[in-house]
Amino acid sequence: MTASGEDGASDIEGDEIVTQQTFAAPTYRNAPRWEERRETNVSVFRGRVSTRVATEYIRRRGGRRELTEKEKSRIRVRRLSATKLREAGIAIIDEPGGVVYPEHCVVVWPADGPVNPLWPPEVQAAFDACSTGVEEGWQEE
Amino acid sequence: MAGGMTRVTLEGVLRPGQAPWRPSPDVTDVRVLLAYGHPRVGTFRIGLDLVLFATAYDDDDDDLSVWAYVPVPAELEASFLGRRFDTAADLSQAVDGFFVGRPATMALANNMSLARWSICDEVPAGDDGLTKAATGFMWSVLKAESFDHLQAAVKLAEARDLVNS
């Protein structure tokens, strides 16, 4: 498997923004969870997606319990620069699956070659540094 | 029975240690409808039969997850193949609704490795039907685990008696 071209997926081009959600602010995931969950990539959403929409996508199950106030206080999204990611040798692949919005993408490393889920510390740091510094917390409707 | 596949066939397809979204080496044409970190909803084929899979319980903080599988009759494949939903909620509603009233295979995964599974005769009605099915399945797993532990304790006690006698 290589970073681009799988199943017709394309890299996100231009100076786009992608959104990353966390349930554990101020910490965000900076690498795939390969050993714990067999994940080969880090999921993000294309564009500026709200905290609520991103979280509802991730939680999926409609019948699940309501979030507690404490949980909501730790949910946040941050914006990442696609340009910075590409410059760091990290690729963003459009993989929307069966959902139109929010548009799901995966971040994989390296951009040129077989995907490696085991990101070295310097790659994790480079990914973290792609944040634009803009964050958004939970907002009630 | 909803699909052309028999319950026994689907139950016999799953293999321990496999990823829930590719539960057997014999699985082909895995198509992911919803992913976040890993696939959470999608379809695959066993031979010509289409199977719909979905997480029934999956929490980022928990090593354990529960997955549900149901065969999709050939005449209903278009409900999921190539289909796009406006939102994740719309997709979940369609997927979870499809399970309702059908027999499903429920499976427990530990760190995304399949460990145990069994048949749920009929997924209960309601928006939380799959959650209820997952809860019932987990109770059966707990009972089985307790029984296994009890049996192990009895064997250990018997072995000690043998040693002591």
Q: How far apart are CA A17 and CA B108, in angstroms?
A: 37
Counting the structural domains of chain A, the total is 1
Within-domain flag for A86: yes
Within-domain flag for A1: no
Q: How far apart are CA B36 and CA A105, in angstroms?
A: 9
Residue written as tokens 């696609």?
A: A82
Tell me which DSSP letter residue B22 carries.
Answer: S
Mean pLDDT, rounded, of chain A: 89
Q: How far apart are CA A96 and CA B150, in angstroms?
A: 47
- Is residue A13's pLDDT more than 80? no
- Is residue B3's pLDDT more than 60? no
Within-domain flag for A140: no
Cβ contact (<8 Å) for A62 and B41? no
- Is residue A22's pLDDT more than 90? yes
Question: How much is the average pLDDT of B12-22?
Answer: 94
The string of DSSP letters for A16-37 reads -EEEEEESSTT----S--HHHH
> At a CB cut-off of 8 Å and minimum separation 6, what does A68 contact?
none
Of B35, B55, B63, Cβ closest to residue A95: B35
Kindly identify which residue of chain A lies nearest to residue B96, measuring between CA atoms: A61
If you count residue pairs, one on A and one on B, with CB atoms under 8 Å apart, how many are there?
Answer: 95
Within-domain flag for A139: no
Instruction: Tell whether B87 lies on the interface with A, counting CB pairs under 8 A.
Output: yes
Of A62, A95, A106, Cβ closest to residue B89: A62
Cβ contact (<8 Å) for B36 and A57? yes
Of A7, A38, A64, A2, nearest in space to A118 by CA: A38
Instruction: Tell whether B111 lies on the interface with A, counting CB pairs under 8 A.
Output: yes
Within-domain flag for A138: no
Question: How much is the average pLDDT of B5-11?
Answer: 60
**Structural domain harbouring A11:** 6-133
* Dihedral (Cα; B31, B35, B41, B47), 10-degree rounding: 20
Kindly identify which residue of chain A lies nearest to residue B32, measuring between CA atoms: A97
Within-domain flag for A117: yes
pLDDT one-digit tens code per residue, B33-58: 999 999 999 999 999 999 999 999 88
Cβ contact (<8 Å) for A98 and B63? no
Helices of type H across A33-93: 34-37, 51-59, 69-74, 82-87
pLDDT-based confidence at residue B8 (cuts at 50, 70, 90): very low
Within-domain flag for A141: no
ipTM of the complex as predicted: 0.88
pLDDT one-digit tens code per residue, A43-88: 999 999 999 999 999 987 644 678 899 999 999 999 999 999 999 9
CA of B134 to nearest chain A CA: how many angstroms apart? 12
